[in-house]
Amino acid sequence: MKILVTGGAGYIGSHTVVELYNSGHEAVIIDNFSNSTEIALQGLKKILKKDIPFYEKDCLDIESIREVFEQHKIDGVIHYAALKAVGESKERPLDYYENNILGLINILRLMDEYNVNNLIFSSSACVYGVPEELPVTEETSRADTESPYGNTKKISEDIISDVAKVSNLKAVMLRYFNPIGAHPSGLIGELPMGKPNNLVPYITQSAAGIRGPLTIFGNNFDTPDGYQVRDFIHIMDLAGAHVKALDYLEKQETGFSNIFNLGTGKGVSVMELINAFQKVSDGSLEYTIGEPRMGDIDKIWADATKAEKILGWKAELTLEDALRDAWNWQLELQKQQVDK
């Protein structure tokens, strides 16, 4: 199958492209580089030993995206392209609603116009808000989210479900927990634009001397050690789930949608993660304890049983694997800078 990957130069998108090719599929990438760089495309070429069709385009420009559908016989879409910083979304809500909702609508319109039925949508565990029971399953009620970003994911899920009821669309919505790590080659990984919003790239950049000490936001949460607990999943496990979801979609009738959690099923505290990183990197990490951030929840982790039973997928790689690969990616980036 030839799959259009929107946001394919981004963190999750680029790793999924690798898994698509490893599974015998092809990819066409569109990305506007709002939160990505050409480094990912260069890494993909080295890993796959081929050029991947790429178009620098914005999903808000439907006529521009239409050109890609005209030039390629697209069999399915994996839609990643979205603004994704929780804090920023509180400061720029209109930008987030416009970009994330209208971008999805444009993709759905073009899929309908060109009779492309298969859609995999990048959703998020943030749709659960502050869960009353753990672990969360797909049956856990969605709650008021803590940010406009999270709300765009809820709205997007509803749009996709409604469209599938009245069209030929076949859709899988994947609710990600906390992807970390990098491709084991060290050639692609998470590369934030500016100051990282996510924990692991901040850790690796701090350990590499690029940033000062890590600030841990709070140590008095309702958890065993007082630190926030999250479900950290290796990016390669997450990427592989998309291929499984694609195979699953192929077997479904049109007018269909389903939702799956993607996580390890295990909660890990921030301090446990830091200790694991220090172990795999053979170094110490400087950190300070700061005030909790408004809206941060104490703990959340997934029940991913549904994905295992229906998609035949489960997370296989360990926390240590993910942190070792993330650190290797950071070292590779620094090596590239020195070589320049």
Q: Which residues are known catalytic residues?
A: 149
Query: What letter does residue 259 receive in the DSSP assignment?
Result: E
Closest CA to 173 of 201, 132, 142, 200: 142
Q: Where are the alpha helices (DSSP H) in 120-231?
A: 148-165, 199-207
Q: How far is CA 226 from the centre of its chain?
A: 27
Query: What letter does residue 133 receive in the DSSP assignment?
Result: S
Q: How many CB atoms lie within 10 A of CB 113?
A: 11
Q: What are phi and psi of 3, to 5 degrees?
A: -110, 125
Helix, coil or strand: residue 200? helix
**Which structure tokens are listed for 128?**
């659960």
Beta bridge mates, 54: 29
Q: How far is CA 39 from the centre of its chain?
A: 18
Cα–Cα distance, 179 to 21 (Å, whole number): 21
Cα–Cα distance, 324 to 216 (Å, whole number): 21
Q: How many CB atoms lie within 10 A of CB 278?
A: 15
Q: Which residue has the tokens 């919003």?
A: 197
**Which structure tokens are listed for 15?**
């790793």
Quick one: residue 186, left, alpha or beta (phi over 0 = left, psi -120 to 50 = alpha)?
left
Residue 296, C-beta contacts closer than 8 angstroms, at least 6 positions apart: 217, 218, 228
Q: What are phi and psi of 290, to 5 degrees?
A: -110, -175
